[in-house]
Structure 1
Amino acid sequence: MSRLESPLRIGDVRVPNRLYRSPLLECAGNGPEAVDRLVAELEPAAASGAGLVCQGATIVRGEGGCAAPGMTRVHDPDFVSRLSRLTDAIHRHGGRIAVQLEHGGLRSMETWHAGYREDHPDLRQLAVSEPPRLLRAMAATGFLDYDAHVLSTEEVYELAADFGRSAKWCADAGYDVIHLAGANMGLVHQFLSPFYNRRDDEFRDGVRFLEVVHDEIRSRAGDVPVMTKVPAEMAAPPVVRRRLSADDVAGICARLADYGYDALVPVNGSVFWDASIVKGNYPDRAWRDDRFEAGYAEAFGGRLRARLVALGNWLESKAYDFEPAWNADLCRRVRRTVDVPVLCEGGIRGRAEMDRLLGDACDAVGLGRPFYAEPRLPARLLDGDPKTRVVCRNCNNCAVPQATGADGVCRTPDVLRRAGELRRAGAYDREDAEADGS
């Protein structure tokens, strides 16, 4: 048995192998068909062999906090109880499922989505501190709008309790792992980041917020394993002097492991919501697609502004070109300092690459965007052929339309053509694993 096929323990949960589907935006919302959409989106990964399937960022409150259209909320126990159909579907294939809990804070739609702001004029962002001056200056362009409510100490504790309540309901619904969205400029990231966090209470130390969230989850949901992303801000431009370094991340991870976190996902990024999150090519096809033109105009405040955002995306793509396994060095550094599993994702695209990373940089490997083109991708990666690589070309045509509420799917013809050839050749056929219930 190779290392990729060997089991892994996250807390008391046995994950049958070390390949996982990392969190993506499923665009399922909370409507009558939300659970069906989540099952359709996530079950193929488990059916084709992924040991762990991570449901993308879900919001712990019923109002505000969504970083993109179509995010699912887990603030309502009646709705969350219906998600047991999803967890049962994953478990039938022998897989395990994590739910990623999130609040967008200053990155929420009430900041950047013009149409959403117009429809919700009284909705304010939650903020760790007053928005940094650099962001307030950027808001003068009209692309962003800040009317932030800075959380009091008491309100921070109540927000942590919301994470705990949502975690309990999810655990009761059969989720195996609670995964905190600690990166990509969400509110947890904002607590950790010296760029955002200028508080003068106990939460000036942003790790304290993760400690309180951990305690809330433990008190309400028992021993369900808890893991989190931890962000380095290495991609931030030089003008941003207050940022999280790799040394900072290693120290934060050591503290979290000592405090009781069961696994960690170190990632590189910026202090801005920019192309450093995904890297890769400029998604020219997505920006030119007439089907999304009206949606872009609604999101960004008009067609001219949408074209300017596209231009900014093009410039960012030059700065943040695709890098294979771009988080590997950071993960390796963290793995040397902690005694809990370290999960690595971001730019991992082939079986040989996975075999090199496992046992060195990390204990499990995850992929995200390649699943948009190959929902049953694990069947190919787990066949043992070191030459196996994903068909994804990192063009990002899948991601940009999600700003309009569109589904995350591959839209690149030659990629889809290759995936179709593989499907017809039986490359995704796989006999399901037996669920062992452990």
Structure 2
Amino acid sequence: MKKDLFTPYDLKGLHIKNRIVMAPMCQYSVTAKDGKPNEWHYVHYLSRAIGGTGLIIMEMTDIHPDGRITDGDLGIWSDEHIPAFARIMDGVHAHGAKIGIQIAHAGRKAEDAEVPVAPSAIPFPGASYKMPRALTTSEVQEIVQQFAQAARRAVKAGVDTIELHGAHGYLIHQFQSPLTNQRDDEYGQDLARFGVEVIQAVKKEMPADMPLIFRISAVEYADGGYDIDHAIKLSKAYQAVGVDAFHVSSGGEGLAGQRKPGNHPGYQVPFARQFREALQVPVIAVGMLEDPALAQSVIGNEDADMVAIARGLLRDPYWATHAAVALKSEPTSIPKPYIRAY
């Protein structure tokens, strides 16, 4: 069967009308009071649903106030957060899209925390970052439960899927990298252990047919950073305890070394393909894929099962509809009041 960008896709029990994913992107400049989404977030996400996006993944939403990158970011550390998220979920569903939340903790990249926490007391490069405090073993176990409670709240708010952020140098990534995890307890002896425990705890809070997505950095660009073989080994452990799809990105761990990240359309697609082949698991490709023909080729060549659009969807809430026009596919989700424009 021929597959293209507008072929529907079933991810576990989740039916998605096309292969287009809105990648999670923080809205830093908009202050989310006490981590709660506000009117900006409501309009921001609903406009992408109206514009035809199949699956929207809400921005990095943190499990603790000091787990945010900045104090303007979203959080879901309290039941008081649920109604504001539920309003967005209901609105997005009303316009035919599916929606998930990316749950995370920034770890040593928490810029506004008085004292950030991390697997080991190693600061993130850059003058604006503080020296983190190494977590005790019992504190690590508490954070695992904070992830679980965040997942419970997300489910109660009405999400269709949950994505765990294990990429870009945030806390889960910090535990799985030998650059940032120099512990001598069980969480240092097994670099996958923290991620595995988070996955297990989160899965207990999710309906059986709801997919769990894991975003991972396939490689690290800092000197001494891990390569894709390490990422695939980690991901096999994560898959074994319940990850249903991987959102494959790269970098974010610190200053680039001899190996530099690409800066051209599709530069991360080979990583997604390697994950798909090695794990036989659904993957989302990301990274400068906003040219509709390129996005189409990623699906048509079976490099990935879904394509995440990031800045392209910041520039154009109707990217999906405009991609359908450009590819001469029939747009299936044009709102009735707008049909005469097409």
Bucket of the pairwise TM-score, normalised by the shorter protein? 0.7 to 0.9
- Bigger mean CA offset, 346-355 vs 377-386: 377-386
Matches within 5 A, 1:315-330: 322-330=263-271
Matching of residue 381 in structure 1 with residue 323 in structure 2 = yes
Change (3 A) 1:364 1:72: same
CA contact (8 A) 1:184 1:273 kept: no
Measure how far apart 1:54 and its partner are: 0.9
Matches within 5 A, 1:13-412: 13-27=14-28, 28-31=30-33, 34-61=37-64, 63-110=65-112, 123-131=114-122, 142-146=127-131, 148-204=132-188, 205-223=190-208, 224-236=210-222, 240-241=223-224, 243-272=225-254, 322-358=263-299, 359-383=301-325, 385=327
Aligned residues: 327
> Which of 329, 334, 338 is the aligned partner of 1:430?
334
Measure how far apart 1:43 and its partner are: 0.9
Measure how far apart 1:131 and its partner are: 0.8
- Bigger mean CA offset, 324-333 vs 250-259: 250-259
CA–CA distance in structure 2, aligned partners of residues 188 and 273 of structure 1: 18
Deviations 1:13-44 (A, max 9, x none): 11111101101112454439833221111111
CA contact (8 A) 1:127 1:149 kept: yes
1:53 aligned counterpart, secondary structure? strand
CA–CA distance in structure 2, aligned partners of residues 266 and 42 of structure 1: 22
1:211 aligned counterpart, secondary structure? helix
Measure how far apart 1:98 and its partner are: 1.0
Counterpart amino acid of residue 368 in structure 1: A
CA contact (8 A) 2:267 2:287 kept: yes
CA–CA distance in structure 1, aligned partners of residues 38 and 7 of structure 2: 31
CA contact (8 A) 1:233 1:271 kept: no
- Bigger mean CA offset, 160-169 vs 333-342: 333-342
CA contact (8 A) 2:116 2:130 kept: no
CA–CA distance in structure 2, aligned partners of residues 127 and 260 of structure 1: 25
CA contact (8 A) 2:33 2:72 kept: no
Measure how far apart 1:250 and its partner are: 2.0
CA contact (8 A) 1:342 1:364 kept: yes
2:205 aligned counterpart, secondary structure? helix
CA contact (8 A) 1:56 1:99 kept: yes
Percent identical pairs in the alignment equals: 22
Deviations 1:129-158 (A, max 9, x none): 1216xx5xx67xx54331x22112221111
Runs (4+) of structure 1 exceeding 6 A deviation are none
Measure how far apart 1:385 and its partner are: 1.7
Deviations 1:161-193 (A, max 9, x none): 111101111111111111111111111110111
CA–CA distance in structure 1, aligned partners of residues 308 and 128 of structure 2: 33
TM-score normalized with structure 1 length = 0.69
Measure how far apart 1:53 and its partner are: 0.4
CA–CA distance in structure 2, aligned partners of residues 253 and 144 of structure 1: 29
- Unaligned residue ranges in structure 1 (runs of 5+): 111-119, 277-318, 388-426, 433-438
- Bigger mean CA offset, 199-208 vs 156-165: 199-208
CA contact (8 A) 2:111 2:130 kept: no
2:141 aligned counterpart, secondary structure? helix
Q: Which residue of 2 aligns with 1:308?
A: none
CA contact (8 A) 2:68 2:110 kept: yes
CA contact (8 A) 1:43 1:90 kept: yes
Q: Which residue of 1 aligns with 2:339?
A: none
CA contact (8 A) 1:81 1:173 kept: yes
Counterpart amino acid of residue 431 in structure 1: P
CA–CA distance in structure 2, aligned partners of residues 231 and 177 of structure 1: 20
Counterpart amino acid of residue 145 in structure 1: K
CA–CA distance in structure 1, aligned partners of residues 10 and 151 of structure 2: 20
